[in-house]
Amino acid sequence: MSNQDLPGDGECCSPLIREPLTVDWAGDLARMFKALGDPVRLRLLSLVASHAGGEACVCDISPAFDLSQPTISHHLKVLREAGLLDCERRGTWVYYWVVPAALQQLSSVLSSADPTTVMA
């Protein structure tokens, strides 16, 4: 196939995003994706987001894992430091909830791609 045979304006596929990432935005996204690169943290984010009331403490979600409570707390800390979760201490427990703006940032980058060209 020559360049003359390409559809549209000569591009072989649609761009993943409309404009280049800024340095700050790229850094934020990299931190979030790195935190989500661990299956335990990905599940934790999912459990917190789907928990009744939209927030959960370690005591609520620890039974879903074959990990110690301190290990779960460490993973939650990584998610919080990446900006994906926020938290508040209430007595002896710390309650976590998903930061909607962080999910919106991830979603905006991921949803701007045409899934038919990405999977092809």
What pTM was computed for the model?
0.74
d(CA 114, CA 7): 15
List the chain domain ranges. Answer: 19-110
Domain 19-110 has CATH 1.20.1250.20: no
d(CA 51, CA 63): 13
Long-range contacts of 3-6 (CB under 8 A, 24+ apart): none
* Backbone dihedral angles phi then psi of residue 35, each to the nearest 5 degrees: -65, -35
pLDDT digits (tens, 9 = 90+) for 29-80: 889 999 999 999 999 999 999 999 999 999 999 999 999 999 999 999 999 9
